[in-house]
Chain A
Amino acid sequence: MSLLEVRDLSIRYGDTAVVSSLSFSVSDGESVGLVGESGSGKTQTALAIMGLLPGNAIVGGSIAFDGREIVDAAERQLDRLRAERIGMVFQDPMQALNPYIPIGKQLRRVLLRHGISDGRKADQRVMHMLDRVGLPDPARQFRAYAHQLSGGMRQRVMIASALIADPDLLIADEPTTALDVTVQAQILELLERIREETALLLITHDLGIIAGHCERLLVIDNGRLAEEGPTRKLFSEPQSAHTRKLIDAAPRLDGVTRPAPAPAERVLETEAVSVSYAERRAELHAVLDLDLQLMAGETVAVVGESGSGKSSFVRAVLGLIPMRAGRVTFLGKDIAGPAKARAVEIRRDLQLVFQDPAGSLNPQLRIESIIAEPLSVHAPELDARGRQERVAEALQRVGLDEQLLTRFPHQLSGGQAQRAAIARALIVNPKVLVCDEAVAALDGSVRAQILDLLRREQEATGLAIVFISHDLAVVRSISHRVMVLYLGRLVELADCAAMFARPRHPYTRALLDAVPVPDPVSPGGKLSLGGEMPSIINPPPGCAFHPRCRFALPRCRTEPPRARQVGDARVACHRAEELEL
């Protein structure tokens, strides 16, 4: 008999059905992936299994766990079930952990409350569990608070708390979405190890993750099961159009890269840009000596884990945060200094698109006023008619329907909102567009559309794009050149095709290895990099990367490498010439 048996599950809120007639099962020790785009009902299904749906949800059908019915079960029974039999890992560990209670105590509570073990034994068990999920120095971390841990460590704690009572089923809802690729690889590797003991229901929108970690897949579309089958078969011969669409939209590492752009004038140039924060006596360098040249019609990607300084770098270039040193030249003019001090035309020519489309649009304004706002500064001479025409033109460029103009931002989907944000940036015809993780929050198919939109816009107008991302697979399809940063320092800068074919720096290699590929035969997502990026408060001496580098020499610990040309790449590594990566 299967461990979890979902039959004809339906979930409604009022008249809106979020899940309808969904049936599937999970056997003991099996790992099943639940894949779908956002809003497809994945999380609702998981919450229903846990009996955690809000009171206004109308649930139909049956969910049987080990023969016991969960739908309509009494709260006390559910409580026991959740504590002992089913563990759950949420997407955002910061929100799932109580910030006021040390993590050890939080984990211990579960054991004490349900009488699984008591006193010293409970402590030992917690410590053992923290050790098993790979938390260094569990005795010390036992007393740590959630905010003192990094994102990856927090997610490990979450997994430990889900596993503490030795459950039969672990439900992981987008467990790595908030994490960097390298940390994601570590967490996935951890889940892989855990699978030996429990069944796993892995919920995600990312086919790359699921390809390497699940035996069986359930694809859901709009609350209905679109397709079900063994992972390999589903990838090689998808039956439903929806599955095919998801697979096609997933970014890969083997697609074509863009041909080099035609030589053009240099629009933006930075020299030795540094950003630092004063912290007590010390000076913390968020960005150190970065050089970049950007030509018209070219896309340069800036890549790195969180904390690598990629956002600080472009924000300093844009004049949003102060620069400590360096020069920024725009079309030959020195423009270093705050954005406020810059001429209006220069501010017009440098535009930014943010990661969170909803957050970058004022919730109190209608889309029309939002898109038209730049005109009030940069084209004040326009009358109402002229403004309307410009807005209509911008809408057409980003492929938005005119009906949306009277809506408020929250009434738009993520993709529509991001198009509106791009329309606001493009309406003044800038020369440089900076996209700060502009597609990171979007679903696969929507992401592909936005990338396509940016490419077309660039080919039509010669726009130069700086594309910030932590995801190398996304970068590959949009950029001409790639700049990899680590702890605010340049690691490698090379043509996109060259870098993917032959990375020159061990860190670049590790990032490439960590990218999960939607291919069950060689799924990528390999763990070749342990640990996490150190904080800028305490940068390692010598090469900043040496503590995590497999190839580090004694020299790397003392002497910082200088960026130099090796082959077609600019690399900052002492061993760049000799290493075959």
Chain B
Amino acid sequence: MVSGGVLCAIGLVAVIGPWISPNEYLTADFNNILRSPAFADGHVFGTDDLGRDLFVRTMMGVQVTFAVAIVASIVSLVIGVLYGATAGFVGGRVDAVMMRLVDTLYAMPFIFFVILLLVVFERNFLLIFVAIGAINWLDMARIVRGQTLSLREREFVQAAQLLGVSTPKIILRHIAPNLIGVVIVYVTLTIPQAILIESFLSFLGLGVQEPQTSLGKLVNDGTDQMEGAAWLLLIPATLLAVILLCFNFLGDGMRDLFDSRRSE
């Protein structure tokens, strides 16, 4: 629960910070290129090689990173759980067709897929979310399907079937809630993965575009200046690490919260 608080605090600062800070993320301050962190002139985290305020840029990055993480995991959660649970529960031919579709998508090279999306549609912030979500739900669907196959044989599901509860209702009411333990754990693995994919895409120039930024991109930029201006690497990297760690702890906490057996 501490980690939830830390995440909220980081998120809050990320939203409010740039707003109250005297500096703009775009404005280059040519008098203060590569300034080390100091409170005096408002460049709390220092400036980068173009003289832009690192604090504001980092907070921008956190915003983007949070957005990517949350949207991507929600996309993969909703699609993956419903898709996997349906395939696993209905079974038979439906299952076979649905899972072969997943296999086919799996076989597509990810980068190729992203480039394709970027070419067909305009370069677009939303597209990154879609691309990452579209990759992650495949894993989620497979895991959920496997769990559903074993849940389907459980007696409480048979009891519901016998009572005449409809299939969508069984999936929503009896299957999905019992998947939560596995799903939450998997989502906490997905979030760091999504963040990493995003920074990787940004690095390739396929993701977030200058002058916008993300934590991953800041870390990449920071590596270039590692020797002269270590803070450019250390500050975003530490923040990224803290965020990832917090998501992991949060995952543990959430699993306990949702599992009725442990919430006593």
Q: By the criterion CB–CB under 8 Å, are A360 and B261 in contact?
A: no
The answer, yes or no, to whether B106 is at the interface (CB within 8 Å) is no
Instruction: Name which residue of chain B comes closest to A346, CB basis.
Output: B164
CA distance A410 to B178 in the complex (A): 14
CA distance A132 to B172 in the complex (A): 54
Q: By the criterion CB–CB under 8 Å, are B163 and A374 in contact?
A: yes
Tell me how many residue pairs across A and B have CB atoms closer than 8 Å: 67
Whether A378 touches B164, Cβ cut-off 8 Å, given contacts A359-B155, A360-B155, is: yes
The answer, yes or no, to whether A339 is at the interface (CB within 8 Å) is yes
Q: By the criterion CB–CB under 8 Å, are B159 and A376 in contact?
A: no
Kindly list chain A residues whose C-beta atoms are within 8 Å of the C-beta of B154. 359
The answer, yes or no, to whether A352 is at the interface (CB within 8 Å) is yes
Of the four ranges (under 10, 10 to 19, 20 to 34, 35 or more), the interface on chain B belongs to 20 to 34
Q: By the criterion CB–CB under 8 Å, are B163 and A408 in contact?
A: no
Q: By the criterion CB–CB under 8 Å, are A356 and B155 in contact?
A: yes
Q: By the criterion CB–CB under 8 Å, are A377 and B177 in contact?
A: no
Instruction: Name which residue of chain A comes closest to B162, CB basis.
Output: A352
Kindly list chain A residues whose C-beta atoms are within 8 Å of the C-beta of B155. 354, 356, 359-360
Kindly list chain B residues whose C-beta atoms are within 8 Å of the C-beta of A411. 264
Kindly list chain A residues whose C-beta atoms are within 8 Å of the C-beta of B178. 362-364
| Count of chain A residues with a beta carbon within 8 Å of a chain B beta carbon | 30
Give the one of B156, B173, B260 with max A CB within 10 A.
Answer: B156
CA distance A580 to B219 in the complex (A): 90
Q: By the criterion CB–CB under 8 Å, are A408 and B260 in contact?
A: yes
The answer, yes or no, to whether B12 is at the interface (CB within 8 Å) is no
Give the contacting residue for A377; candidates B158, B165, B180; CB below 8 A: B165
Q: By the criterion CB–CB under 8 Å, are A360 and B159 in contact?
A: yes
Docked complex: B191-243 residues within 8 A CB-CB of A: none
Instruction: Name which residue of chain B comes closest to A344, CB basis.
Output: B164
The answer, yes or no, to whether B174 is at the interface (CB within 8 Å) is yes
A45 CB to closest chain B CB (Å) equals 26
Instruction: Name which residue of chain B comes closest to A428, CB basis.
Output: B163
The answer, yes or no, to whether A227 is at the interface (CB within 8 Å) is no
CA distance A408 to B164 in the complex (A): 23
The answer, yes or no, to whether A479 is at the interface (CB within 8 Å) is no
The answer, yes or no, to whether A258 is at the interface (CB within 8 Å) is no
A21 CB to closest chain B CB (Å) equals 29
Give the contacting residue for B260; candidates A348, A356, A364; CB below 8 A: A364
Kindly list chain B residues whose C-beta atoms are within 8 Å of the C-beta of A360. 155-156, 158-159
CA distance A340 to B156 in the complex (A): 17
B210 CB to closest chain A CB (Å) equals 47
Kindly list chain B residues whose C-beta atoms are within 8 Å of the C-beta of A428. 163
B152 CB to closest chain A CB (Å) equals 12
20 contacts between A and B (CB under 8 A): A339-B162, A351-B163, A352-B158, A354-B155, A359-B156, A360-B156, A363-B178, A363-B261, A364-B180, A373-B163, A374-B163, A377-B163, A377-B164, A378-B164, A408-B260, A408-B261, A411-B264, A424-B159, A424-B163, A428-B163
- Known A-B contacts: A354-B159, A362-B174, A421-B159. Give 17 more (CB < 8 A): A339-B161, A339-B164, A354-B158, A360-B155, A360-B156, A362-B160, A363-B156, A363-B178, A363-B260, A363-B261, A364-B177, A364-B178, A365-B177, A377-B165, A378-B164, A408-B260, A408-B261
Q: Which residues of B contact A (CB under 8 A)?
A: 154-156, 158-166, 173-174, 177-178, 180, 260-261, 264
Q: Which residues of A contact B (CB under 8 A)?
A: 318, 320, 339-340, 344, 347-348, 350-352, 354, 356, 359-365, 373-374, 376-378, 408, 410-411, 421, 424, 428
